Amino acid sequence: MTGGSRGIGAAVVRAFAARGDRVAIHYRQTAAAAAALRDSLPGDGHVAVRADMSDAEAVRLMVDGAAEALGGLDVLVNNAGVYLAHSVLDGSYAQWQQAWQATLGVNLVGAANATWCAVRHMAGHGGGRIVNVGSRGAFRGEPAHPAYGASKAGLHAFGQSMAVALAPHGITVASVAPGYVATDMTAAELATGAGELIRAQSPFNRVASAEEVAAAVVYLASAEAEWASGAVLDLNGASYLR
C-alpha cells in the first residue's frame, strides 16, 4: 500500500487488515504515523516500509522488502501522490519544470516502477491484483494543479495498458477515480466557506469518506472483481459525469 500512513491510504490499510490480510504500509516521511497505524491493526505480521517514490532504486528495495516481510505479494495499491499548485501564468519557468518533475515522478513514474517490481512477485506466483488510486481531476481538469491532473490521467491509461499486458499472467489492474474526499489533509479547507462550495459539487451535498474509497479498492482487489480489470471506477457522488 503506497502512501498508506494517512488519509485514503490508511483507510485502505484498515479495510484490508479487517479482512485478515497482512499489509505493508509505505510512507516517505511520516514514520511515526505509519508505525502507529501498523500497531493499531488487528492481526500480526504487518510492516511499515519507507521509500521516496521518485527514487527508482528506493521503490525496488521497498517492494522487495515488503514482499519478503509478508511472505509474498498478492495486492499492490498505488496510492502515493503529491498535489502541487502551479499556475501556467505565474511563477518562473524553473518552478514550472520542478512542479512537473516532482508530480510525475511520484504519481505516475513512481507507480509504474512499483508495478514493475510488484509484478515480479505476482507473475508465476498465483497472480495478483493491482489497484491504482487516480482522480476525478484526470477528466474534469485541474487548472491550478495541471501536473496532478495529467499524472492521474496517465495513471488511468497506464493501468489499462497493464490490464491487457498482465491478464495472461493472472494479474488484474483497475483504477478508482475519487472526487473530493474528507481526510485529515482536507479537514481544514472543508471547515471554511470553501467547504460549502466543495460539498455542493455533488447532488448529495457532501464529499466522500476515505472508507468509501477503501471499500471500492478492496472490491477491485477481490477475486470477484476479475472482470473489472481495466476499469476506471468513478467515485465522485455524481459531481462529474462522463
Give the pLDDT score at 241.
Answer: 97
**Among 145, 147, 156, 171, which residue's Cα sits nearest to residue 235?**
156
Cβ atoms of residues 174 and 227 within 8 Å: no
Sheet holding 128-133, edge to edge: 75-78, 128-133, 171-178, 232-235
Give the pLDDT score at 116.
Answer: 98
Alpha helices in the chain (DSSP H): 7-18, 31-40, 56-70, 93-104, 111-122, 137-140, 146-166, 187-190, 193-199, 210-220
Cβ atoms of residues 220 and 171 within 8 Å: no
Q: What is the residue extent of each domain of the chain?
A: 7-235
Confirm whether 219 is a catalytic residue. no
Query: Which residue reads 500512513 in cell numbers?
Result: 5
**Pairing between β-strand 232-235 and β-strand 208-209 as defined by DSSP bridges:** unpaired
> Does domain 7-235 bear CATH number 3.40.50.720?
yes
Q: CA quadruple 145, 147, 150, 154: dihedral positive or negative? A: negative
Per-residue pLDDT of the chain (242 residues; tens, 9 = 90+): 999 999 999 999 999 999 999 999 999 999 999 999 999 999 999 999 999 999 999 999 999 999 999 999 999 999 999 999 999 999 999 999 999 999 999 999 999 999 999 999 999 999 999 999 999 999 999 999 999 999 999 999 999 999 999 999 999 999 999 999 999 889 999 999 999 999 999 999 999 999 999 999 999 999 999 999 999 999 999 999 99
Angle at 41 between CA 40 and CA 47, to 5 degrees: 100
Query: Which residue reads 484498515 in cell numbers?
Result: 14
Give the separation between CA 205 and CA 48, rounded to whole angstroms.
Answer: 36
Q: What DSSP state is assigned to residue 128?
A: E
Q: How confident is the model over 99-124, as pLDDT tens digits?
A: 999 999 999 999 999 999 999 999 99
> What residues contact 46, with CB distance under 8 A and at least 6 apart?
17, 22, 23, 24, 25, 38
Cβ atoms of residues 162 and 217 within 8 Å: no
Give the separation between CA 4 and CA 27, rounded to whole angstroms.
Answer: 6
Three-state helix/strand/coil letters over 27-46: ECCCHHHHHHHHHHCCCCCC
Cβ atoms of residues 13 and 1 within 8 Å: yes
Give the separation between CA 144 and CA 234, rounded to whole angstroms.
Answer: 21
Active-site annotation holder among 27, 148, 180, 219: 148
